[in-house]
Structure 1
Amino acid sequence: MTQPQIARSPLNTKYGTFELYDFAWSGNEQDNVLALVTNFESKTPLVRVQSACYTGEIFESTDCDCHWQLETGLHRIQKEGGIFIYMLCDGRGAGLLTKIRGMNITATEGLDTAEAYERLGSPLDPREYERAAFVLNHFGVASCRLLTNNPRKVLGLKKTRYKCRA
């Protein structure tokens, strides 16, 4: 993996102040990974890895719980210390176009997201976690408490040799 360019700035939020990092592997915005970091002394800090969800996080769609997960993750990490890693890949990594097509199938045909993605010929969750693992390594995190209900994230990070527990 190539080395990314890194930018850093304080970020004041309604949850408190974080250090915001942008890890940019190319000029393509989707190749960036953001990290919001608070002081952590634990050898196994709290970590949330979240992928973009424009419909849920920006427009607060009631069809998903991504906005709630974003707020809960930022609140807990600010309180307990840790790292919030934000990957700019919507639709579980399938992309915004596939996501919106899948949302339409879900709304009009009553299928769930997995069935809609299958109908579209898209893998359910093509995300890879090497860049999230790079971010953890950058901050010296060898193991973490992963804030997730998604076993694929745990497996994805374990494939990169990182130790985490949900």
Structure 2
Amino acid sequence: MPSNKNNTELVPTAHSAFTVTAPTGPAKVEYISSCELPTTFATFQLHAFFEAATGKEHLALTLGDVADGQPVLARLHSECLTGDALFSQRCDCGAQLETAMQKIAKEGRGVLLYLRQEGRGIGLLNKIHAYRLQDAGADTVEANQALGFAPDQRNYRICLPMLQHLKISSVKLMSNNPRKAAALTDLGIKVTEHIPLIIKKNPHNERYLLTKASKLGHKF
């Protein structure tokens, strides 16, 4: 068990309000509205969806005609407040989000699903607990397990109604995670190409990336 310098066990209590239990049956996601979203990369269309079972709002960014039946350059991106908004160097999330948007803008066509599944599905507060355990020596998998969670609790079933609404049935997937491609295939979405999204290592995320590869099967 990870410990601090005084050899005192650091086992925070998981925040139950943010515990995620994977639902069963068809995912129910309601389309809410769309608008333009000007960014430094391009002006995207921003689409909002609501998942009643969890109370979560999910987003899709699209560029160009994604409903023409041709494979769409795509990214499934799970929310990471610390990486996406606070520029954390502990992970590769923010850099992956930026790179994916750049690639879509360069191609002039694509989709990015922004899924509210913080901390691989355990929620923001539990992720902060997990970060504390990592500070004490645990890796990302060990920290989640110490809090009573699976290493990765995300559920990609919510992608299907979002992609169906956007009339996308075939994608060129930007990801290092084979589980995402398998999940889309199981949902009936054709993955025509698996494009790596490699981000430069730094001293703060090197172990994180190694754990992704060695324990979660990510391909770099």
State the distance in 2 between where 1:133 and 1:5 align. Answer: 12
| Matching of residues 4-43 of structure 1 within 5 Å | 4-26=30-52, 31-40=56-65, 43=70
Counterparts of 1:5-154 in structure 2, within 5 Å, are 5-26=31-52, 31-40=56-65, 43-80=70-107, 81-109=109-137, 111-154=138-181
Q: May I ask how many residue pairs the two structures share in their alignment?
A: 164
Aligned to 2:35, the other structure's residue is in SS state strand
1:108/1:2 CA distance change after superposition, 3 Å: closer
Q: Distance in 2 between matches of 1:10 and 1:4?
A: 19
Deviation at 1:99? 1.1
Structure 1 position 124, deviation (Å)? 1.3
One-letter amino acid of the structure 1 residue matched with residue 57 of structure 2: N
Q: CA RMSD in A?
A: 1.8
Shift of 1:96: 1.1
Q: Is the 8 A contact 2:83 2:93 kept in 1?
A: yes
Distance in 1 separating the partners of 2:102 and 2:114: 15
Secondary structure of the corresponding residue to residue 106 of structure 1: helix
- Whether the 8 Å contact between 1:2 and 1:25 is mirrored in structure 2 is yes
Q: TM-score, normalised by structure 1?
A: 0.90
Provide the C-alpha distance between the structure 2 equivalents of 1:2 and 1:124, rounded to a whole number of angstroms. Answer: 25
Structure 2 stretches of 5 or more lacking a match? 1-26, 195-220
**Code of the aligned partner of 1:37:** T
Identical amino acids, percent of aligned pairs: 35
User: Which is worse superposed, 122-131 or 12-21?
Assistant: 122-131
What is the CA-CA distance between 1:27 and the residue it aligns to? 9.8
> What's the TM-score once normalised by structure 2's chain length?
0.69
Say if 1:33 and 1:132, in contact at 8 Å, map to a contact too: no
Q: Which runs of 5+ in 1 are unaligned?
A: none
Instruction: Indicate the larger mover: 38-47 or 89-98.
Output: 38-47
